[in-house]
Amino acid sequence: MVNRQTIVLVALMLNFHLYFVSSCENENCSYAIEFPLISKLNAPLQAELDISVLTEKLKELIKQEVQASVSKANEEFVGNIVDKRVETAVDNLKALNNITIATYKEELKVNSCENENCSNAIDIPLISKLNAPLKAELDISILTAQLKELIGHKVEASVSKIVKDLIRQEVKLTTANIVKRVNNAVDYLHTSNNVTMSTYMQELKETMMKPAFSAFLTKTINPFSGNDILKFDDVRINLGSHYNPKTGKFTAPKSGMYQISYNLMGYQKSTVTFQINKNNGAFVYGYADGSGYATSPSSVLMELEKGDLVYIIHRTKRKTTAKTAFFTFLKRSRTLSGSQILKFDDLQINQGNAYNPNTGNFTAPRSGLYHISCSLMGSFPTASISFQIDKNGDLFLNIYSHDSGWTTQSVSLLMELTEGDKIYVKHSTSRTDMVNGNRQSYFSGFLLL
Residues 73 and 66 sit within 8 Å (Cβ to Cβ): no
For the domain with range 206-314, which CATH number is right: 1.20.120.50, 2.60.120.40, 2.40.40.20, 3.30.420.40? 2.60.120.40
Buried b (16+ CB within 10 A) or exposed e, 14-52: eebbbbbeeeeeeeebeeebebbbbbebeeebebebebe
In the DSSP assignment, the letter for residue 342 is P
pTM, two decimal places = 0.34
* 230/237 Cα distance (integer angstroms): 17
For the stretch 412-415, contacts whose Cβ atoms lie closer than 8 Å and that sit 24 or more positions apart, written own/partner, are 412/371, 412/372, 412/373, 412/374, 413/371, 413/372, 413/373, 413/389, 414/369, 414/370, 414/371, 414/372, 414/448, 415/369, 415/370, 415/371, 415/372, 415/391
Determine the pLDDT at residue 2.
39
How confident is the model at residue 79, as a pLDDT? 43
| Alpha-carbon separation of residue 401 from 30, 375, 425, 440 (angstroms) | 142, 11, 15, 15
Model pLDDT, residue 371: 93
Q: What is the mean pLDDT of each run of 10 residues along the chain (449 residues)?
A: 37 35 44 44 45 64 67 48 48 52 52 46 48 50 66 73 78 79 73 63 68 89 79 91 94 91 74 84 76 68 92 69 84 87 93 93 92 85 79 90 74 91 90 86 90
Whole-number Cα distances in Å, 419 to 75, 223, 370: 108, 10, 11
User: What is the structure's pLDDT at 174?
Assistant: 77
Count the neighbouring beta carbons within 10 Å of the beta carbon of residue 172: 10
Write down the domain spans for the chain. 5-153, 206-314, 325-447
Give the N- to C-terminal CA distance of the chain in Å, as an integer. Answer: 136
Say which CATH topology domain 325-447 has: Jelly Rolls (2.60.120)
The DSSP letter of residue 346 is E
What's the farthest any 2 CA atoms get from each other in the chain? 175
Whether 206-314 shares its CATH topology with 325-447 is answered yes
